[in-house]
Amino acid sequence: MFTHIYSSSDVVSTTLTGLALMSFASAVIAFLGLSWSNERWRVPGALVGTACLVTAIYYAGAAGYWLSGAEASAGVRFSAWYTVHPIQVVAVYFFARSQGPVPSGVFWRISAAAVLMVFGRWLGDASFFNPTLGALISIAFWLYILGEMYFGAMAEAVRKSGRAVTLGWFWIRLLMTVGWAVYPILHFVDVVIGAGQSGGVIVLYSVFDIVNLIIPSLIVVAVAGQDRY
């Protein structure tokens, strides 16, 4: 992505390159945070770091592809989502588990829901069946994950924790509620309405990765540090 020169007016190139660097920096911070966090925070810290690293690789490739031909592919983005979203929900599980017992069944259910959430949108995007139905299936699994976070054993494990943990949980849960809503919305714009991978759609997807991935990952690092010190 650094082998092409582009002007600051090229919003898509600037956004993709910036997100690649931001995601990589967040991954570095998360991995460095493993050295100053309590042992019980090592798993969620490593998971959010891995999610940021995978995202950085995706954005580096997407930026290079866009710069070479001013094109983008939803297929590449789905490939990243299949990895990143399950890792994120697993990180949420271990975040809660660091504060108390959470049944292992929750782990398997939300992991499967995260994969199926992406799979539903992919089926619609690939035209295997109606794109609207694919979006609705995706929304159903997303709502199930939120239900586990708001009303399930994870919420119960966090409820009696200290202020840093409960505040971090509140913000992570809020970001996954508000920020993740952009995925079905942009799916409708991209696939159902037919806008395609236009510059505006790409920029919106990318900017919301700050809200949906980078900020929650840094919250985990911050809470892990405060919980120790």
User: What per-residue confidence (pLDDT) applies to 132?
Assistant: 82
The amino acid occupying position 158 is V
pLDDT digits (tens, 9 = 90+) for 204-219: 888 888 999 999 999 9
Cβ atoms of residues 99 and 165 within 8 Å: yes
Residue with tokens 């710069």: 67
pLDDT at 36: 84
pLDDT for 106-157, tens place per residue?
999 999 999 999 998 888 777 787 888 888 899 999 999 999 999 989 999 9
* Domains with residue ranges and CATH for the chain: 11-228 (1.20.1070.10)
Q: How far is CA 227 from CA 34, 44, 68, 88, 102, in A?
A: 13, 13, 46, 20, 19
Whole-angstrom Cα Rg for the chain? 18
pLDDT digits (tens, 9 = 90+) for 21-69: 999 999 999 999 988 888 889 999 999 999 999 999 998 888 877 777 6
pLDDT top residue among 195 and 44: 44
- Mean pLDDT of the 157-186 span: 91
Lowest-confidence region among 83-87, 95-99, 177-181, 225-229:
225-229
pLDDT given for residue 198 in this prediction: 67
Highest mean pLDDT: which range of 63-67, 83-87, 179-183, 224-228:
83-87
* Band of pLDDT at residue 192, cut at 50, 70 and 90: low
CB under 8 Å to 16, separation ≥6 — which residues? 1, 59, 62, 63, 66, 202, 206
8 Å CB contact between 180 and 51: no
Q: What does the pLDDT read at residue 88?
A: 96
Check pLDDT > 60 for residue 9: no
Nearest to 93 by CA among 84, 82, 81, 105: 105
User: Is residue 196 within 8 Å of 136, Cβ to Cβ?
Assistant: no
Q: What is the pLDDT of residues 87-119, one digit of tens each?
A: 999 999 999 999 989 999 999 999 999 999 999
Q: Looking at the whole model, is its pTM more than 0.85?
A: yes
Compute the CA torsion angle 51, 57, 58, 59 (nearest 10 deg).
110
pLDDT score, position 197: 61
What pLDDT score was predicted for residue 75? 67
What is the per-residue pLDDT for 53? 96
pLDDT band per the 50, 70, 90 thresholds, residue 176: very high
Counting other chains too, the contacts that 191-194 makes at CB distance below 8 Å and 24 or more residues apart are: 191/74, 191/124, 191/125, 191/131, 191/134, 191/135, 192/131, 192/132, 192/135
Query: What are the Cα distances from residue 80, in Å, to 46, 122, 172?
Result: 18, 12, 20
